[in-house]
Structure formats: C-alpha cells, structure tokens
C-alpha cells in the first residue's frame, strides 16, 4: 500500500509541482491566484488512500493539469466527516465528470 507521502513524491517527480486547494467556486491555484472551475482541469490520475485505523488518513489525491496558467499539480482532500464544505463541492464536481477514472 502506498502512503500519502509516497504518492505525492511520485507525482512531484512526474512534474505535478503545484498544490491546488479548494476555494469557494472551484480550485485555487497558488501560482496564478485564479479560481479554476473543476471542469476546466484534466484529471490525469486519482489515488484514494485509507489509513488502517485512523479516519484522518482517508484522503483522495488528484493529479490535475491544464489550468489557466498551464500548471500541473495535485489536489489532496480528506473525505467523510473531516472534509470542508469547499472540499466537498470540489470533490463532487470532479467525481461527477465523465473522465473521472
């Protein structure tokens, strides 16, 4: 089983070097400052990680590309009761897409 650190290290090595984050209305890019509609991103990979006994270790990692500034990065969010309302909105938008793996 891969750990969160192993997944993130692998993605950074592959060029996903921006840490996207949930923001009201979409995904925030720390480089260009834009709020990106999840429909405007390409989902390259999805990783769902579950801790053996700790609910805080339940996370989903998205490898995303093609934002307004052309950056590739990751969006990591918890799921379940620990997710913020912005994270829930972004996760639902990404999961509802036909290209979601």
Nearest to 49 by CA among 38, 62, 39: 62
Categorise residue 32: left if φ over 0, alpha if ψ from -120 to 50, beta otherwise: alpha
Residue 50: the pLDDT is: 79
- Domain assignment present for residue 100? The answer is no
Task: Outline where 1-101 has alpha helix (H).
Answer: 4-13, 85-95
Task: Tell me which residues of the chain have a pLDDT lower than 70.
Answer: 1, 51-57, 67, 97-101
Residue 94: the pLDDT is: 87
Q: Which residues lie below 8 Å from residue 46, measured CB to CB, with a gap of 6+?
A: 60, 61, 62, 63, 100, 101
Tell me, rounded to whole angstroms, the distance of Cα 36 from its chain centroid.
12
- Domain assignment present for residue 38? The answer is yes
- Domain assignment present for residue 9? The answer is yes
Q: What is the pTM of this model?
A: 0.85
Residue 38, domain extent? 4-94
- Domain assignment present for residue 54? The answer is yes
- Domain assignment present for residue 20? The answer is yes
Residue 9: the pLDDT is: 95
**In total, how many domains does the chain have?**
1
């Amino acid at each position: 089983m891969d750990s969160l650190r192993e997944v993130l290290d692998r993605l950074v090595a592959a060029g996903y070097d921006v840490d996207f984050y949930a923001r009201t209305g979409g995904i925030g890019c720390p480089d260009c400052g834009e709020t990106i509609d999840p429909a405007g991103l390409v989902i390259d990979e999805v990783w769902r990680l579950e801790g053996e006994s700790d609910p805080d270790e339940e996370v989903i990692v998205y490898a995303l590309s093609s934002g307004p500034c052309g950056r590739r990065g990751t969006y990591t969010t918890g799921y379940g009761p620990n997710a913020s309302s912005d994270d829930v909105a972004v996760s639902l938008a990404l999961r509802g897409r036909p290209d979601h793996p």
